Amino acid sequence: MREILRILDETYPDAKCALDHQSPWELLVATILSAQCTDKRVNMVTPGLFRKYPTVKDFAAVSQEELAEDIRSTGFFNNKAKSVTGAAKTILKEFHGKVPRTMEELLRVPGAARKTANVVLGTAYGVASGVVVDTHVQRIAQRLGLTKNTDPKKIEQDLMKALPKEKWIPFPHQIILHGRSLCVARKPKCAECPLDAICNAKDKTKH
């Protein structure tokens, strides 16, 4: 693990959240929209969205149907619109319009399961409450032998045990960059990978 972290720090020293945002609320919305959608697409949609609805109150007031049209290009737009308007109403009613800073409270917000809560807490507040497990983290943690599990919650538990706590926030950002550039789902670029020597994945590509 120490060697993996050393290589990741060397290779991706400036890794950070790929979702553009100006506040914890904007990050929460962007993270909800990013489900089953690329961060690039979300970053194309959110500037106009936050101009149209600058505050949590604006999102709470808009109809689900109208918001769904605004976010149509991110896919699953009806469910996402329901989550975002529900999140806005809950945050106004229960948390005085501020995105909460604890895992327990965030999990009460519609659309904020553990992955989303971890993104918001880690990136917006610097709170290491867990490890973000997206598809890249899931795939690469398995390839590097850091987990044998397939369930994201169990993978997160394995990573929390394996990683020093100060790495809980940066590690997923580094892994996500690695997953986009080299350790891709099909035909990973093992010949170019700095982790190649310590990786025993079954689907490694021949040099």
| Number of independent structural domains in the chain | 2
| 0.75 surpassed by pTM | yes
List active site positions: 115, 134
Q: Are residues 42 and 96 in the same domain?
A: yes
Question: What is the crossing angle of helices 24-33 and 39-52, to 10°?
Answer: 130
| Same-domain check for residues 8 and 57 | no
- Tens digit of pLDDT at every position of the chain (207 positions): 999 999 999 999 999 999 999 999 999 999 999 999 999 999 999 999 999 999 999 999 999 999 999 999 999 999 999 999 999 999 999 999 999 999 999 999 999 999 999 999 999 999 999 999 999 999 999 999 999 999 999 999 999 999 999 999 999 999 999 999 999 999 999 999 999 999 999 999 986
157 with 94, same domain: the answer is no
Pick the closest to residue 133 from 101, 103, 157 (CA basis). 157
Amino acid at 68: A
* Domain shared by 29 and 107, yes or no: yes
Q: Choose the final residue of a domain: 110, 125, 140.
A: 125
- Among 107, 125, 143, give the residue marking a domain's end: 125
Q: What range defines the domain where residue 149 resides? A: 2-14+132-198
